[in-house]
Chain A
Amino acid sequence: MVKYSYYPGNVARQSSREVEDTIQPLCKTLGIELIEIVGYNSDGGNIIKQGNRELQLALNARNLALAEKKGHDIITACASAQGILHESLDTFQNDEIALASANRVLEKTTGLTLNASEISSSHLLHVLVDEIGLDKVEAAVVNPLDLDIACYYGPHMQRKGACGGDDAWNPTYMEQLITALGGRPVEYKTKTSSVGNPSLLSLGDTVMKMTARVLNDAKKAGGQVLVSACTQSHSNLDSYQGKAGRVANKDTSIPVVNLTEIIAFALGHFTDRFAQLRTRAILIGS
């Protein structure tokens, strides 16, 4: 078993329970042991950073220090969380003043200190491709996906160092993974574009247009289902797709699932949900 400290992000144990439901069994199947970071806190979602950058850094320093104490690198299933964790870690590793400042606060408030040189964070996608291996994933497939699938990465983790060995600008890891799971990836050009999730509540039509652009591109490319590596962005892509379509006057009807869900389905978990997804894909995805 490969061990990772598991950071669920801001919504996997809130509105996106389906991520929490599916990541646990899929990791067990693939030999990944998720170690709970007891007492982990929100990473600030780049919302707190808008009011106080130091505060968001300190919150992330606490999570990193808790994981560091356990001795395992961090894994998460949310691209947004991975982007924030990586950016915080990158700051601490390259800015001694920021690290010292965060440690001063951490030590005073928690008794913890962060070394920052002995820990890293990864998205589940990159762990599966870089460490577990697609051959092992393929061997574990029970229900091949047999669907045309558009992959959505979002912009948050698409920068050098944050996305494992994948190309930050033209990523292919998810397409490779979908192929290994028995699906057929489709290419479209906005797979790393933002859908404006941080401003979902504050900017109306702009965010809807950004969301519609991605959904429409995925649909035009022939996708029956869109798979999102970003749990946060899933809200825009899924719940708001009807509104997005009306605002942008585009066809946005396509089933959207999280990456953890589609992996779990292919590995034989939640066959009822997979059947439901197939039905939806046939009815509205094509």
Chain B
Amino acid sequence: MPTVAKVWIEEDCITCDACEDILPEVFEVTDDTSQIKSDVREDGAFDRNTGFSSIKTQFRAEYSELIEEAADACPVEIIKFEYEGGTAEVVSEEVAPVVDAAPAPAAASADTGDNSGVLAGVLSGDRSLAVFFGSQTGNAAGLAEKTAKKAAAYGLEASVIDMDGYDQTKFATHKRILIITSTWGEGEMPDNAEELWNATCSSNPGLSGVHYSVCAIGDSSYDEFCKAGTDWDGKFASLGATSILDIKLCDVDFDEPWSQWVGEVLPRIACVDSGGVFQEDLVEAMIAYGAGEEDDGVDAGDFTPANIIQPAISLTMRIFRYDPILAQSGYDTVAVNLPGHASIEDALVAVKREVDGSLTFRSGGLVGQNPLSGIKANGRILPADTTRICDLVSDGETLTLEPVPGYEVVKDLMVSYDRYDYARADSKPWLEADPRQGERLANGSPIGVMSSSEATYLHTLADVGSLQLVNAMSDTYDVDEVYSGPGLALQRWVRSQDPRSGKAHIKQMFDLMQGKGGVWDEADISSIHRHGIDGSQAADSLYAARARLLAEYKFVGKTGRLVKTYARSVKMSGNVNETTLYRSVLGPLGLGSNIMNGISLRMMLGFTRNGGPMMRGFQGMLVPPAGIGKIPNMFNSKIANHHEVVAIFNELDGRF
């Protein structure tokens, strides 16, 4: 039996300690990687032995079997070795690259079957394949990922590349390119491809060394069927690229034609060698080679997502800094270069490590979204740990990072969420189930019940990433210390809609929403609504809660009067009558207050208006209610076909 003469560790060790457990005399796992110990090596060094130093002769027989066992046990298969006499190492398969490439299966890297001999030349060297997608709804992106996975069977190392933000001058760096694109509207490029298309058309980069093929998705009911794909095909050809296979046009049922295209194009493009030459006579052998590890790429238990690569971007980061000891604040400006797919938190970690270790922010951790990792990034309230920088800024732009508003700043970008926690504890928006006859646990405890549709409705209502951040989305929360915020309002609303909640608890939730600090303290729901899906979800719930409260509390107070008067005035004439509105909502005292506050005076003296008849100003002082500063019509004339508006009101809401 041959003995092992050399052993070394390749990159990407996951420091699992398996090798050291098996053979501590040879392997030692440090913080970053496993190392080959100096005692057993001819060169006496302590590293991964990438210089291939031999094992001392006296240890070879003793450790050979255990080295083989350690290599077998290595979960990422990075332990490599060589037998005495220079015989081939026994390595089952190479390691899939972790970054920027789809995993390479056994067939690609170590198959020693019949075909690998003739294919040895073409399978060596650069095996990169760039799969670009232009996608509006995600279909093309999905096909690109599947294509990349299938490419591995042909020994290709595929990268899936979003056309959005790609630099057209880099097309020429690829030898093998596949393009999968949909067509949008009347023959237009998908949104993510438009910029690249325009840039390519204007700069016309030479692509003479590129082999390519295009798979176009479209809808044959449109005149410009698959136009985006045919445009790319024509453009690549005109720029000197070589088509490896004719363009495939796919209709709305694209799975079948895409599958045919992939089956034909991959073995062909895999026969483009590292020198960029298409070895057409090897295509049959490549087909057989790929078939040896046939994989449809969509098995549920075999799913490995390909990496979506974003080009690196350079940006200027303006980071808010606050020193609580000196009570001083300001902004630091840092120029950084980052992978486009880096998160905001990645960037902050990099700045903390490389520039200023005192930078303080709340980390989201390694897995999932931390609801407290929020940040204000160029005006948007976002979780720092799951928001990609490339989704916020483009190359060369500035990213301003500030603490989320509405909360006390502890230091730099870190805020205290005590305000939210105390308000939540005070209002108890958690489940307090109502005992129901016949619905009890085995121990006799009462339980609430809920149908699946009700459960779905409740989950949908509450489906926001962070209630603390929803609070910060409100422009009101920052200026009103009593307001408990839209996030807490959402929680209270959800609980009031929960069929398991007891009646007393529902009443308590309604009272809290109606009272001081409740949903009526939100001055402008629009400021929340524009903050993406979470903001829109919270805004919709606020509107729903207000509608329910108006019905529950019979339009009481200023807010109730505002809605009722507004609606009635619209019903009466077709348009809102501001005179009626101000008089009804503010009342005599409110109007008097406006006069006392100088609002009416400002108007009369002409400070607040840019012209118009002066008489309107005097009219405002003489005819109450005129204290709104700008004088509306006292009476509205009815709009044309006013009866239609009345009919709409009567049809939908008899309360007005």
Q: Hey, which bits of chain A sit against chain B, CB under 8 A?
A: 10-11, 13-18, 21, 38-42, 44-55, 58-59, 62, 80, 83, 87, 105-106, 108-110, 155-156, 158-159, 168-170, 189, 192-199, 201-203, 206-207, 209-210, 213, 235, 238-240, 242-243, 246, 256-257, 261, 270, 272-273, 276-277, 280, 284
Contact of B543 among A21, A53, A257 (CB under 8 A): A53
The chain A residue with its CB closest to the CB of B633 is A14
CB <8 Å contact, B629 and A238: yes
Please tell me if the beta carbons of B558 and A201 are within 8 angstroms of each other in the complex.
Answer: yes
Determine whether the beta carbon of A105 is less than 8 Å from that of B652: yes
Q: Return the contact of B648 from the options A21, A58, A170, A277 (Cβ within 8 A).
A: A58
Q: How far is the CB of A259 from chain B (nearest CB, A)?
A: 12
Contact present for A155 and B527 (CB under 8 Å): yes
**A201 in contact with B379 (CB, 8 Å):** no
A residues within 8 A CB of B653?
51-52, 55
Q: Name A280's closest neighbour in chain B (CB-CB).
A: B607
Q: How far is the CA of A255 from the CA of B631 in the complex (A)?
A: 18
User: How long is the Cα–Cα vector from A140 to B223 in the complex, in angstroms?
Assistant: 41
Return chain B residues, CB-CB under 8 Å to A14: 575-578, 632-633
Partner of A48, one of B567, B590, B603: B567
* B1 contacts partner chain A, Cβ-Cβ < 8 Å: no
Q: Evaluate contact between A261 and B559: CB separation under 8 angstroms.
A: no
Would A62 and B645 be within 8 Å (CB), given that A46-B526, A194-B523, A277-B610 are in contact? yes
List the B residue with the shortest CB-CB distance to A234: B630
Query: What are 24 A-B residue pairs whose CB atoms fall within 8 Å in the complex?
Result: A15-B578, A16-B630, A39-B574, A39-B640, A42-B570, A48-B567, A50-B563, A51-B547, A51-B564, A51-B567, A54-B652, A58-B652, A108-B651, A109-B644, A170-B379, A194-B526, A195-B524, A196-B476, A199-B522, A201-B585, A206-B523, A210-B475, A210-B523, A239-B608
Bound complex: CA of A49 vs CA of B645, how far in Å? 15
Tell me how many residues of B have a C-beta within 8 Å of chain A: 75
B524 touches A155 (CB 8 A): yes
Distance, CA A137 to CA B639, complexed state (A): 34
- Complex Cα spacing A110 to B608, Å: 40
Interfacial chain B residues near A207, Cβ < 8 Å = 523
Cα A240 to Cα B49 with chains together (Å): 76
Task: Return B376 CB to nearest CB of chain A, in Å.
Answer: 10
- Which 7 A-B pairs have CB atoms at the shortest separation, nearest pair first? A239-B629, A196-B523, A39-B640, A109-B647, A194-B524, A273-B611, A15-B632
Q: A51-B550, A110-B647, A280-B607 are in contact. Are A169 and B524 (CB under 8 A)?
A: no
Determine whether the beta carbon of A199 is less than 8 Å from that of B524: yes
Tell whether, in the assembled complex, residue B648 and residue A201 are in contact, meaning their CB atoms are under 8 Å apart: no
One of B475, B574, B602, B652 near A155 (C-beta < 8 A): B475
Q: Name the A residues within 8 Å of B522 (CB-CB).
A: 199
Contact of A206 with B644 in the complex, beta carbons under 8 Å: no
Given the interface contacts A235-B628, A235-B630, A276-B610, does A41 sit within 8 Å of B652 by beta carbon? no
Q: Within the assembled complex, what's the spacing in Å between the Cα atoms of A276 and B630?
A: 17
Distance from A2 Cβ to chain B, minimum over Cβ atoms (Å): 21
B503 lies within 8 A of chain A by Cβ: no
Query: Smallest distance from the beta carbon of B382 to chain A beta carbons, Å?
Result: 11
Report whether A210 and B479 are in contact in the complex, using a CB–CB cutoff of 8 Å.
yes
| A209 and B479 within 8 A (CB) | yes
- By the criterion CB–CB under 8 Å, are A10 and B547 in contact? no
Question: Nearest CB to that of B574 among chain A residues?
Answer: A41
Give the residues in chain B near A44, CB-CB below 8 Å.
Answer: 566, 570
Report yes or no: B598 in contact with A243, Cβ–Cβ below 8 A: yes
Whole-angstrom distance from the CB of B612 to the nearest CB of chain A? Answer: 5
Decide: A242 near B598, CB < 8 A? Known: A39-B574, A47-B563, A273-B610: yes
Query: Which of A11, A15, A210 sits near B476, CB closer than 8 Å?
Result: A210
Q: Chain A residues near B547 (CB, 8 Å)?
A: 50-53
Question: Taking the nearest CB of chain A, how far is it from the CB of B514, in angstroms?
Answer: 13
For B575, what are the chain A residues with a Cβ–Cβ distance below 8 Å?
Answer: 10, 13-14, 41-42
The complex places the Cα of A52 from the Cα of B475 at a distance, in Å, of 24
Separation in Å of the A166 CB from the closest CB of chain B? 13
Q: Which of the residues A50, A105, A206 comes within 8 Å of B651, measured between beta carbons?
A: A105
In the assembled complex, which residues on chain B have CB atoms less than 8 Å from the CB atom of A41? 570, 574-575, 639, 645
Q: Write out the residue numbers on chain B whose beta carbons fall within 8 Å of the beta carbon of A243.
A: 597-599
With the chains together, A11 CA to B525 CA distance in Å? 20
Q: Are A18 and B609 in contact (CB under 8 A)?
A: yes
Q: How far is the CB of A56 from chain B (nearest CB, A)?
A: 9
B169: Cβ under 8 A from any A Cβ:
no
Interface assignment of B174: CB less than 8 Å from any CB of chain A: no
Contact B648 A109 (CB under 8 A): yes
Instruction: Determine the distance from Cα of A61 to Cα of B599 in the docked complex, in whole angstroms.
Output: 36
Instruction: Choose one: B586, B606, B639; the contact of A39 (CB below 8 Å).
Output: B639
A110 and B644 contact, CB distance less than 8 A? yes
A42-B570, A51-B653, A206-B476 given; 20 more Cβ-contact pairs under 8 Å: A17-B612, A18-B612, A21-B611, A39-B644, A44-B570, A50-B547, A51-B563, A53-B547, A80-B526, A87-B529, A105-B651, A106-B648, A108-B647, A110-B641, A194-B524, A198-B525, A202-B585, A206-B521, A210-B476, A261-B610
In the complex, the answer to whether B576 meets A39 with C-beta atoms within 8 Å is no
Query: Residue B244 at the A interface, CB < 8 A?
Result: no
CA distance A156 to B523 in the complex (A): 13
Q: Which residues of B contact A239 (CB under 8 A)?
A: 599, 602-603, 608, 628-630
Cα-based distance from A40 to B598 in the complex (angstroms): 35
Please, how many angstroms separate the alpha-carbon atoms of A42 and B636 in the complex? 12
Bound form: Cα–Cα A170–B379 in Å: 8
The reply to whether the CB of B322 lies closer than 8 angstroms to some CB of chain A is: no
Q: Which residues on the B side are within 8 Å of A52 (C-beta)?
A: 547, 567, 652-653
